[in-house]
Amino acid sequence: MALLNIKNLTVKFATATGSFTAVDGIDVHVDRGEVLAIVGESGSGKSVSMLAVMGLLPDTASITADEMTYDGRDISNLSASERRTLIGREITMIFQEPVASLNPSFTVGFQIEEVLRLNLGLSRRDAQSRALDLFRAVGIPEPEAKIKAYPHQMSGGQCQRVMIAIAIASNPRLLIADEPTTALDVTIQKQILDLLMKLQEDYGMALILITHDMGVVAETADRVVVQYQGKKMEEADVLSLFENPQSPYTRALLSALPEHATGDRLPTVSDFFAQETAR
């Protein structure tokens, strides 16, 4: 049985100009301990589909699905208290903008300790020592000093490490990482990805990694879902996807990798579609 199983998920937004379908009948599942990459260009509905799972979409979203289960349990209609015991504990999520995800008015230590006290019921003292352990686990240097820092006193990479520390605090069985390195410098991106992969292995978590970068997919994923304009274009294990992509859209994403570049400019997906239609 899959850990998370989503069938025929559709998300529509009510907008001033009518209803807009952001996710159009997508199936996604992830098994225990598995790394699933969801890849696609900006706007393809990657974030919206996972925010729907987390119950984090605004009221303007209408969500339907034939199945939405976690560990065999229906999660489409949880009460607020059921949702709180699941989301933020068993399933956690980290976002693209680490600095914006932290509250600028409080120290990072206060923020992680709040989560530990509220979500895990730890005492203040236990929360403090657990926060230090977590800062060490995510490779924050001088954790005793850093725990007293405000977000603006830390680099983007360090803020993302704090967010990761918060996300793994409850020992989740599923971590959803939504473009966790996109906002970071290239050199830091690899460190954060390596950290996520190490934690995924150490904790035996399932990881859903949302990315627009096929290079990231190649380095991390067991299985890949390729998404375009709210629809699933292709799903395959990572080796098959790279060796024998079935969808033209997947081939377009692959051709945008630097090693396939010709000339002085990287080809874009629209270049590729132009070639396909010219044929």
Ligand X SMILES: Nc1ncnc2c1ncn2[C@@H]1O[C@H](COP(=O)(O)OP(=O)(O)O)[C@@H](O)[C@H]1O
Would you tell me which residues interact with ligand X (CB under 6 A)? 13, 15, 20, 22, 40, 42-48, 58, 60
Minimum distance from residue 116 beta carbon to Mg ion (Å): 28
Q: Which does 245 bind (CB under 5 to 8 A by kind): Mg ion, ligand X, none?
A: none
Q: Smallest distance from the beta carbon of 183 to Mg ion, in angstroms?
A: 12
Instruction: Work out what residue 60 binds among Mg ion, ligand X, none; the CB cut-off runs from 5 to 8 Å by kind.
Output: ligand X
Minimal distance, residue 20 CB to ligand X, in Å = 6
Contact 135, 146 (CB under 8 A): yes
CB of 57 to ligand X, least distance (A): 7
Shorter beta-carbon distance to ligand X: residue 15 or 187: 15
Looking at the Cβ atoms of 94 and 134, the one nearer to Mg ion is 94
Q: What angle is formed at CA 47 by the lines to CA 41 and CA 48, rounded to 5 degrees?
A: 115
* Binding-site partner at residue 48 among ligand X, Mg ion, none, CB < 5 to 8 Å by type: ligand X
CA angle 131, 177, 137 (to 5 degrees): 30
Residues in a beta bridge with 188? none
Helices 124-137, 156-168: axis angle to 10 degrees equals: 120
Which residue in the set 5, 10, 47, 220 belongs to the binding site for Mg ion (CB under 5 A)? 47
Beta bridge partners of 226: 39, 234
Rounded distance, CA 130 to CA 148, Å?
A: 15
When the beta carbons of 116 and 224 are compared against Mg ion, the nearer one is 224
Q: What, of ligand X, Mg ion, none, does residue 20 touch, CB below 5 to 8 Å by kind?
A: ligand X
Please list the residues that pair with 92 across neighbouring strands.
175
Closer by beta carbon to ligand X, 33 or else 55 = 55
Query: According to the binding rule CB under 5 A, does residue 181 interact with Mg ion?
Result: no
User: At 243, which amino acid appears?
Assistant: E
Task: Select 47 or 189, whichever has its Cβ closest to Mg ion.
Answer: 47
Name 205's bridge partners.
none
- Residue 183: CB minimum distance to ligand X, A: 13
The DSSP code for 155 is -
Nearer to ligand X, 158 or 250 (CB): 250
C-alpha torsion sign, points 170, 172, 178, 180: positive
Distance between CA 79 and CA 75 in Å, rounded? 9
The rounded distance, in Å, linking the Cα atoms of 248 and 269 is 10
Number of residues that bind Mg ion (CB under 5 A): 1
92/158 with CB nearer ligand X: 92
CA 26 distance to own-chain centroid: 17
Piece of 7-15, 31-39, 46-54, 124-132 that binds Mg ion (CB under 5 A) = 46-54
Within 13 Å of residue 263, how many CA atoms lie on the same side as its CB? 5
Binding stretches for Mg ion (CB under 5 A): 47
